[in-house]
């Protein structure tokens, strides 16, 4: 009887430990806001967002990020240069800041990703997610698709957790007032 009782106690303890471990594995770890922002900064950096959304300045080793304009998009006060439109079907042009792209689709300008009202300041996380994963302009249904070179198709399968981290980081950076110009259709490009 003593052995049976010991066996039942051991079985009960193993069952409790099993149930506890199963429940524990389904719980999501709680991430602090600071950790979420750090993860978002990492993702924004390694995914190359600065390549187009941060204007460049020329330093001793060539183009480098202008950290005073971090993720503020194409500067509103810099016009589009005249383009040899006869080459547009075969070439894509970028400006010296790498914030403007000209190609068969027309002219596209990198967006302001800072939390200013001229950037993503009024966007919800859901809008940010829709822009990043579905390529919707301003993350709104019924709007145009984001233009090249924005590689939104590459981000289609990004996890919602990663989107949340990126959004938290972008909402934490310095807001920069910069109203990026609207795209220019191919037939309206200033020609040489």
Tokens of 47: 């995914």
User: What is the distance, to the nearest Å, from the Cα of residue 76 to the centroid of all Cα atoms in its chain?
Assistant: 21
**Domain residue ranges in the chain:** 33-188
Give CA separation, 149 vs 15, 27, 30, in Å. 55, 39, 35
Band of pLDDT at residue 190, cut at 50, 70 and 90: confident
Tens of pLDDT along 7-61?
556 555 565 566 656 655 556 677 899 999 999 999 999 999 999 999 999 999 8
Query: Among residues 158, 182, 153, 176, which one has the least CA distance to residue 54?
Result: 176
Per-residue pLDDT at 184:
93
Q: pTM of the predicted model, to two decimals? A: 0.82
Per residue in 139-175, pLDDT (tens digit) is 999 999 999 999 999 999 999 999 999 999 999 999 9
């Amino acid at each position: 009887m003593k052995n049976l009782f010991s066996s039942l106690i051991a079985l009960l303890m193993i069952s409790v430990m099993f149930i506890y471990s199963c429940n524990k594995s389904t719980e999501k770890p709680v991430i602090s806001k600071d950790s979420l922002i750090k993860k978002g900064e990492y993702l924004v950096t390694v995914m190359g967002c600065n390549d187009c959304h941060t204007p460049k300045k020329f330093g001793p080793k060539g183009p480098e990020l202008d950290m005073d304009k971090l993720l503020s998009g194409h500067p509103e006060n810099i016009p589009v240069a005249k383009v040899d439109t006869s080459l547009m079907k075969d070439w894509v042009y970028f400006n010296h800041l790498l914030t403007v792209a000209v190609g068969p689709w027309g002219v596209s300008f990198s967006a302001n990703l800072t939390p200013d009202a001229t950037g993503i300041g009024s966007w919800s996380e859901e809008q940010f997610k829709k822009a990043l994963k579905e390529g919707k302009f301003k993350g709104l249904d019924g709007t145009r698709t984001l233009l090249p070179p924005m590689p939104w198709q590459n981000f289609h399968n990004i996890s919602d957790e990663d989107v949340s981290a990126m959004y938290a980081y972008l909402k934490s950076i310095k807001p920069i007032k910069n109203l990026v110009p609207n795209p220019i259709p191919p037939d309206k490009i200033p020609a040489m």
